[in-house]
Chains A and B, each alone.
Chain A
């Protein structure tokens, strides 16, 4: 025990260290939103917005408790950090997105930021949506704007130390948010590229089908290798080598599985929440389902 450790000088140095540490944390975790000039001029395509809304399965998390078809939020989502209440996506001006501008929406979807600059919790998979074309994101916004506004105030999330957790997400984004836009691979077919885009962007399949590192970011080296199920019991299966592992015979087989599920005896997709995902995929056009299957079957 050396009392000199607590000398005035040492304490001052310690205080200085703590303050500068906090300062670095504050600066490094600051939000960096886009502004209006970053948003391209775009004529909305509602049909495309609806398609992307469906493949994203937005309703799975943003459903209201009263009506499973209305994305006005409120259905509790249990996560490792606490219980979340996904917010209202309908254009209600008070409780929904009615007052959100296009740039607000793009910031949420691709920067993980709320209109006030708060870091959004990545249970909302902006980590995948960040790879989307900004025009596609704008189409989703335009589609949401056409939904009937439903009044349903978002409940606050039940997360301990929420302020610190949220602010720390600014740091987490350095490792957890890969902001590279989707790039088509010219060596592959257009439909393969379409599938790759739908799977890795709006479909956000990697969020569950890729294991996470100790920093809770997707382990890109193990892309689509499967991982523990977020609910705790069982695993999310790997999407690699689906043919070699005897899961599906060929692309056509996987397309039938997406479209019919157990109605045609395909029982691999009906647990762990995939049943609902499958019905969303089944609602897409034949060409898009084939594109998704073509891409998935190519994963080695």
Chain B
């Protein structure tokens, strides 16, 4: 018979081991660069769908907005793992990540938090008025990070 206490202990141990495994499997080097570029491309695609609706060039389409934001959210889900120290530069990949990401981690985290909040609020909108009201904050949050933490294009 395994007592309740040891059950709890066992469960804790399993969580610890799984946690360590997850940490071990965290993104590193070029994989991190590729992952964040995939995320940025998804964000770019989402913008490409949403901006014409904001500008009034295309009618608002709630389903299309949800589709691109879901895809963007999925591609960027591991955001916190995108920035290991060994991904500052790469021998084979180009990256515009600036040194400030690692020298100003608090600023970077805050900019990421602002983005996440704006993204969540936009994704929660269901009608055109809400969508148009929440969109600028998301765009500004993109800029807030790009200005400080993204180098000019090569």
- Residues of A with Cβ closer than 8 Å to B? 229, 231, 233-237, 256, 260-265, 267, 270-272, 274-276
**Is the Cβ of A271 less than 8 Å from the Cβ of B96?**
yes
Give the most central of A235, A262, A264, A272: most B CB within 10 Å: A262
**Is the Cβ of B152 less than 8 Å from the Cβ of A234?**
yes
Report the separation of the CA atoms of residues A229 and B151 in the bound assembly, to the nearest whole angstrom: 10
**Is the Cβ of A270 less than 8 Å from the Cβ of B146?**
yes
In the complex formed, the residue of A with least CB distance to B52 is A265
**B10-18, B21-29, B31-39, B137-145: which lies at the interface:** B137-145
Chain B residues with CB under 8 A of A260: 136, 139
DSSP class of B's interface residues: helix, strand, loop or mixed?
helix
Chain B residues numbered 112-154 whose CB sits less than 8 Å from any CB in chain A:
135-136, 139-140, 142-143, 146-147, 150-154
**Is the Cβ of B152 less than 8 Å from the Cβ of A272?**
yes
Chain B residues numbered 37-87 whose CB sits less than 8 Å from any CB in chain A:
44, 47-48, 50-51, 54-55
**Is the Cβ of A270 less than 8 Å from the Cβ of B143?**
yes
**Is the Cβ of B152 less than 8 Å from the Cβ of A236?**
yes
Chain A residues with CB under 8 A of B44: 267
Chain A residues with CB under 8 A of B135: 263
Interface range on chain B (Cβ under 8 Å from partner): 20 to 34
Closest 9 CB pairs of A and B: A234-B152, A262-B143, A272-B152, A275-B147, A265-B51, A263-B136, A263-B139, A270-B146, A262-B139
**Is the Cβ of A264 less than 8 Å from the Cβ of B153?**
no
Partner of A234 from B50, B51, B96, B143 at Cβ < 8 Å: B96
**Is the Cβ of A271 less than 8 Å from the Cβ of B147?**
yes
- How far is the CB of A178 from the nearest CB of chain B, in Å? 26
**Is the Cβ of A235 less than 8 Å from the Cβ of B47?**
no
**Is the Cβ of A235 less than 8 Å from the Cβ of B154?**
yes
Given contacts A235-B152, A265-B50, 5 further A-B contacts (CB under 8 A): A264-B139, A267-B142, A272-B151, A272-B152, A274-B152
**Is the Cβ of B153 less than 8 Å from the Cβ of A237?**
yes
In the complex formed, the residue of B with least CB distance to A228 is B152
Subset of 13 A-B contacts with CB under 8 Å = A231-B151, A234-B154, A261-B143, A263-B136, A263-B139, A264-B139, A267-B44, A267-B47, A267-B142, A267-B146, A271-B96, A271-B146, A275-B143
Report the separation of the CA atoms of residues A274 and B146 in the bound assembly, to the nearest whole angstrom: 11
- How far is the CB of A150 from the nearest CB of chain B, in Å? 26
Partner of B151 from A234, A264, A267, A276 at Cβ < 8 Å: A234
Give the most central of B47, B140, B143: most A CB within 10 Å: B143
Report the separation of the CA atoms of residues A270 and B55 in the bound assembly, to the nearest whole angstrom: 20
Give the most central of B44, B55, B135, B153: most A CB within 10 Å: B153
Chain A residues with CB under 8 A of B136: 260, 263-264
Chain A residues with CB under 8 A of B147: 270-271, 275-276
Report the separation of the CA atoms of residues A115 and B22 in the bound assembly, to the nearest whole angstrom: 65
